[in-house]
């Protein structure tokens, strides 16, 4: 536990003085009390328990005072709290390689089932959006609280060719920051973006034309209101460079959790007369997670994929963070003071 104003803790040294003052007042009262002949009879009637009862209210008041002094020092403690991440974007790979059956019944169905289970476990106040990507990336379901709409969007996935992982991250950021003017088309290779030009350079050029708001980069992982979960089974074959897109997310403080599905060594699959070899690019996915202060998870089977999503759900809804607990201690001190006064009135018809 840390304290923002530790100098107030010196006031705790007054508590022993208060105890000594209380003992001195008791002795003084005892010496000045009148001696009645029947005093011994009264004491026997009261008993030891009644004698100790009179010390309970002062003890509670002393504890209340200590709690209030500690609260004034503004203590900080690391406790588990509900996360402030209220929007999650699921970016899911729908490229042709997702039809591979190394994850039963196949990669796509396993990913769909795990994603739906993940959504069902999230608190109802968390908004979820879905981005599907193959050769291009698009928002198939804007961020919403409706779990039914999300399930329908996931069930409508259709497989396509190519894999644009970086574009999926950019589209997810555009969904999270709709007023930032993120132009996905201008950030892909084509007429509007010369090959080899970085996203940073493009952002500055567009901002200079007044087409997008300039922003100041923040610390990676510092944006606590949203997160992106990226699930893919292959390597980028088109679209925005994956690591450049990861840097774009990091500059905006958004964490990108990556989930790899399939085999690291690769597998050859065939479809409608053509075949291709697909391999999981773990190195890039780990780099994306590291750059954005998130984590990478490997899901080699349907069961592992479900466990990964359960882990993500837990980490996205509960987190340990340093929090000031002055209010809790102040409340405890106030309650102790009230109990002390109440007992004193009930037992002795006076406050302390």
- From the list 230, 227, 202, the residue with the least C-alpha distance to 288 is 230
Quick one: pLDDT at residue 39? 55
Mean pLDDT by 10-residue block, N- to C-terminus, for the chain (352 residues)? 88 88 79 56 54 81 92 85 77 88 85 91 89 94 95 93 92 89 65 46 49 74 90 86 94 93 66 62 92 90 79 74 86 91 81 64
The two most distant CA atoms of the chain are separated, in Å, by 115
Q: Using one digit for the tens of pLDDT, what is the confidence trace for 292-343?
A: 999 999 887 777 877 888 888 777 766 667 788 899 999 999 999 899 888 8
44 Cβ contact partners less than 8 Å away, ≥ 6 residues apart: none
Q: So what's the pLDDT on residue 89?
A: 95
**214-246 burial code (b ≥16 CB/10 A, e <16):** eeeeeebbebeebbbbbbbbbbbebbbbbbbbb
Query: Which pLDDT value is given to residue 124?
Result: 84
Which parts of 101-176 are beta strand (E)? 127-133, 137-144
297, 281 Cβ separation under 8 angstroms = no
Q: What is the pLDDT of residue 275?
A: 61
pTM confidence score: 0.65
Say how far residue 12 (Cα) sits from the centre of its chain.
36
Token pair of 76 as six digits: 């900080």
Specify whether the CB–CB gap between 212 and 182 falls below 8 A. yes
Residue-level pLDDT at 195: 43
Q: What's residue 115's pLDDT?
A: 92
């Amino acid at each position: 536990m840390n304290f923002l104003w530790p100098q107030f803790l010196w006031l705790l040294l007054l508590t022993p003085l208060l105890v000594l003052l209380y003992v001195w007042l008791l002795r003084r009262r005892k010496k000045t009390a009148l001696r009645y002949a029947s005093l011994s009879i009264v004491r026997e009637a009261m008993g030891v328990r009644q004698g100790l009862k009179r010390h309970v209210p002062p003890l509670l008041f002393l504890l209340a005072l200590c709690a209030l002094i500690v609260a004034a020092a503004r203590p900080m403690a690391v406790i588990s709290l509900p996360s402030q991440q209220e929007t999650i974007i699921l970016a899911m790979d729908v490229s042709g390689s997702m039809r591979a059956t190394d994850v039963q019944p196949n990669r796509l169905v396993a990913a769909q089932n795990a994603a739906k289970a993940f959504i069902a476990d999230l608190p109802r106040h968390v908004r979820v959006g879905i981005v599907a990507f193959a050769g291009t990336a698009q928002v198939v379901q804007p961020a919403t609280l409706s779990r039914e709409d999300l399930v329908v969007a996931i069930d409508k996935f259709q497989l396509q060719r190519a894999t644009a992982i970086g574009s999926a991250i950019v589209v997810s950021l555009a969904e999270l920051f709709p007023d930032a003017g993120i132009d996905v088309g201008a950030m892909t290779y084509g007429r509007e973006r010369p090959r080899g030009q970085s996203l940073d350079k493009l952002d500055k050029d567009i901002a200079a034309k007044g087409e997008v708001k300039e922003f100041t980069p923040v610390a990676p992982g510092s944006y606590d209101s949203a997160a992106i979960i990226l699930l893919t089974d292959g390597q980028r074959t088109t679209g925005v460079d994956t690591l450049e897109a990861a840097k774009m997310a990091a500059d905006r403080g958004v964490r990108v959790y990556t989930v790899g599905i399939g085999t690291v060594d690769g597998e050859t699959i065939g479809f409608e007369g053509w075949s291709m070899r697909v391999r999981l690019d773990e190195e890039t996915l780990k780099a994306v997670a590291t750059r954005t202060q998130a984590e990478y998870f490997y899901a080699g089977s349907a069961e592992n994929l479900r466990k990964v999503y359960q882990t993500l759900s837990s980490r996205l809804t509960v987190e340990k963070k340093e929090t000031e607990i002055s209010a809790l201690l102040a409340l405890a001190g106030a309650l102790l003071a009230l109990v002390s006064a109440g007992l004193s009135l009930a037992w002795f018809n006076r406050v302390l």
